[in-house]
């Protein structure tokens, strides 16, 4: 008998949630992401990206950042909450590592306007999905 009220409450709550809006990216950035991932296969997401693999960062849009690791592998991170203004071109993504030099999911990053040094947004990293080119 108690199942019915619980079922009703869960249906009402589910109807109140909204799906996140799909990321809108420019055709140039869509092409850049496609080129970075061309011929590569998605692997199981990882929670931390070693610092030596985070040196070649490409901002795709406010929600997506790609890290190139040579020509064989690219890591894609989808930001939690989206980094507003990150894709504008006049900003930088600033992170602070504590206890480790790795970049891990859940770490907060600040979006800083490079012209005046003011923080204009923040977000956190999601998991990193490696895309690897299969060996021939």
Rounded Cα gap, residues 106 and 10, in angstroms: 28
- Number of C-beta neighbours around residue 53 at 10 A: 18
Tokens of 34: 């496609």
pLDDT at 95 (0 to 100): 83
Q: Which residues have CB under 8 Å from 104's CB, separation 6+?
A: 47, 48, 49, 125
Check residue 34 and give its pLDDT: 94
The pLDDT, as a whole number, for residue 19 is 38
The predicted model gives 90-110 an average pLDDT of: 83
Average pLDDT on 102-130 reads 90
**pLDDT value for 29:** 87
Q: Which of 96, 94, 97, 98 is nearest to 119 (CA)?
A: 94
pLDDT category of residue 87 using cuts at 50, 70 and 90: confident
- pLDDT over 70 at 13, yes or no: no
pLDDT at 99 (0 to 100): 67
pTM of the prediction? 0.75
Q: What is the pLDDT of residues 43-74, one digit of tens each?
A: 999 999 887 666 788 989 889 999 998 888 99
């Amino acid at each position: 008998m108690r199942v019915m009220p619980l079922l009703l409450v869960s249906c009402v709550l589910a109807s109140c949630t909204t799906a996140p809006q799909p990321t809108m990216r420019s055709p140039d950035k869509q092409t850049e992401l496609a080129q970075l991932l061309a011929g590569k296969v998605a692997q199981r997401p990882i929670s931390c990206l070693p610092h030596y693999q985070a040196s070649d960062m490409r901002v795709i849009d406010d929600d997506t950042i790609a890290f190139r690791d040579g020509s064989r592998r690219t890591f894609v991170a989808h930001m939690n909450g989206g980094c507003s203004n990150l894709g504008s071109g006049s900003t930088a993504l600033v992170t602070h590592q504590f206890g480790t030099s790795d970049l891990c999911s859940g770490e907060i990053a600040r979006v800083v306007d490079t012209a005046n040094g003011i923080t204009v947004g923040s977000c956190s990293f999601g998991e990193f999905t490696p895309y690897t080119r299969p060996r021939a």
